[in-house]
Copies of this chain bind each other. A is one copy, B any other.
Amino acid sequence: MTTIKQVASYAGVSVATVSRVINETGYVHEDTRRKVEAAVKQLNYKPNEVARSLYKKKSRLIGLLLPDITNPYFPLLARGVEDRMQENDFRIIFGNSDEDRQKELDYMDTFTQNNVVGVISSTNDPDADCYAKLKIPVVFLDRTSSDSLSVYADGAYGGRLAAQEMVARGSKQITVLQGPTHIRPAQDRFRGAVEELQQSNITYHVVETTSFSFKDAESWAKELFRKHPDTDGVIASNDIVATAVIHEAHRLGKKIPDDVQIIGFDDIPLSSLLFPPLSTIRQPAYEMGWEAAGLLIQLIEQSQATKSSTPNLHSKILTHSSIQLPVKFIERETTRKVDYHG
């Protein structure tokens, strides 16, 4: 690796001057600039980010912590984050937490030890100590917290919407799969659905579920149709679980959507490829990642500005502006057609 020193001597100037031209800071004569630029090009010089990071106490790295990239919901989030970050010259240190407290802690240590300037985390406990202690901006993704910045979809409304669409399409005996109680967004949508059902005076049952794993979901699907055989509409806690319900319905010889309608949640890429293609409530995962990254970048730039200048009254300061993105009903073929519907 060629260093700034080598560039300097090659160009016949001091390191300070080289630094000035590559950072476009301070005055430098046009001729000198050209000499330096030539040297930079000639030696193919790329500044050492580590040295920069050490001196400035801040890097161009951000930390991204997701529960499990293997869960089909997360790749889109990750991609949204990466694209926006890449555009703004930030790189990503990535980790899976498995929703495990210890792994989460470890990664937060990793992040701080590497001088990351911000983190995006999809955690079940945004109020955990390790986040409060962080002295850099944090944005919570897909997980809400009362007093931290976060980007999430409108789960409660999504739940209502699922219930509305199901009722509008004629289901009378609806079973709702609750979703893991420790995952806030799962509970939001569950509550939304139940509220709507209650207001509509529809008979409904609830089956408790404790994970989003397909394997577990298969047994809940069985339980569902065993305990509530008259079910003619299932609101699943997410698309994976909905998939298991579809399978079980097939197995029982039930016609979808004539005997039973099914609505999922998320709209993961898989959903449109199922048979029948799954009607679901879409969370705009890519956009969520994108927005979270944008918010974080804003916070990062803000915190730099705050430190270096006197408070600027003209620039609006972000203190608590979480972003809630809209969800949308995606009508496919596990729900019946309905005339009035646009």
Separation of A51 and B59 alpha carbons in the complex (Å): 12
Of A12-20, A65-73, A174-182, A186-194, the segment with at least 4 beta carbons within 8 Å of chain B is: A65-73
Inter-chain contacts of A72 with B (CB < 8 A): 72, 75, 269-270
Shortest C-beta distance, A101 to chain B (Å), equals: 15
Taken together as a complex, chains A and B put the C-alpha atoms of A50 and B74 apart, in Å, by 29
The bracket for how many chain A residues form the interface is 35 or more
Kindly report how many copies of this chain are found in the complex they form together. 2
For A86, the chain B residues whose CB sits under 8 A away are 95, 103
Interface residue A48 (Cβ < 8 Å from any Cβ of B): yes
> For residue A51, which residues in chain B have a CB less than 8 angstroms away from its CB?
54
Of the A-B pairs whose beta carbons lie under 8 Å apart in the complex, a sample of 9, sorted by A's number, is A46-B109, A68-B79, A69-B78, A72-B75, A72-B269, A83-B96, A86-B103, A274-B274, A274-B275
A111 to chain B, nearest CB (A): 9
Docked-complex contact B46 and A50, CB < 8 angstroms: no
Would you call B92 and A93 a contact (CB within 8 A)?
yes
Residues on the B chain within 8 Å of A25, using CB: none
Return the chain B residue nearest A51 by Cβ: B54
Please judge, given known A-B contacts A75-B75, A94-B94, whether A46 and B273 are in contact too, CB under 8 Å.
no
Q: Indicate if the CB atoms of A70 and B61 lie closer than 8 Å.
A: no
